[in-house]
Amino acid sequence: MTIEDNDNTYVIVVDYKTGTIEDSINECKYGLHLQLPIYIILSKYSGLKNVKVTGFYYQTLLQNIVKADNEEDFIKNKKDYLKLKGYTLDRTYSVIPFDKNEEISKVIKSMSITKDGVYGYHSKVLTENEMTRLEKLVEDKIKQAGKSIINGDFAINPIMIAENNYSCKYCKFRDLCF
């Protein structure tokens, strides 16, 4: 979604998923969960003028099982399940047109604004410096991948995080590596 205002283009990235997805950016440094951050980089090179990313989110669809004791709770739980999961750039929440000026967001999971006008404790918010560092990290990962492809460097190098092997989880060749 883009919104043009004066000399800026505000960009909100939303990707739809049919299953569960990790919406944390903590593992981007390992080259994992880069899909939304890569979309941010692509938006910067899209030809839009002065791109300002205000948020990037996943929305999970097709959840078959929503538990509730009654219809009212079912509808509430379903709406909660459909909320966007991701990050909002600090000080730009007011430019998000679909969720403007809500103390507790009806669209973004765990997003809230306190009476003092600051983000709630569970809100996933990035400062401009954190966003800049994330963009730099992702650009470096893209360049690194490009160099590896050009050099034919496809080493088997599973990434272990807290004793979990995320890299091989869905690989059909995982039995060969070990």
Secondary structure letter of residue 55 according to DSSP: E
Q: Residue 125, SS3?
A: strand
Cα separation values, 143 from 31, 33, 101, 147, Å: 12, 16, 39, 6
Closest of 107, 55, 101, 64 to residue 82, by C-alpha: 107
pLDDT tens sequence across 148-169:
999 998 877 777 777 777 777 7
pLDDT tens readout for residues 59-76: 888 766 777 788 787 788
3-state DSSP assignment of residue 144:
helix
Beta strands in the chain (DSSP E): 2-5, 8-17, 51-60, 85-89, 125-126, 160-161, 164-165
Q: Is the pTM above the cut of 0.85?
A: no
| 13 within 8 A of 43, measured Cβ to Cβ | yes
The alpha carbons of the chain give a radius of gyration, in whole angstroms, of 19
% the chain with pLDDT above 70: 90
Least confident of 25-29, 49-53, 62-66, 78-82: 62-66
Q: In angstroms, rounded to a whole number, what is the distance separating the alpha carbons of residues 74 and 62?
A: 15
Mean pLDDT of the chain: 83
Residue 178 pLDDT exceeds 80 = no
Residue range 141-151: mean pLDDT, rounded? 94
| Amino acid 102: pLDDT | 65
- Above pLDDT 90, what percent of the chain? 26
Q: Which of 11-15, 104-108, 126-130 has the lowest mean pLDDT?
A: 104-108
pLDDT in the model for residue 82: 85
For residues 21 and 11, the model is more confident at 11
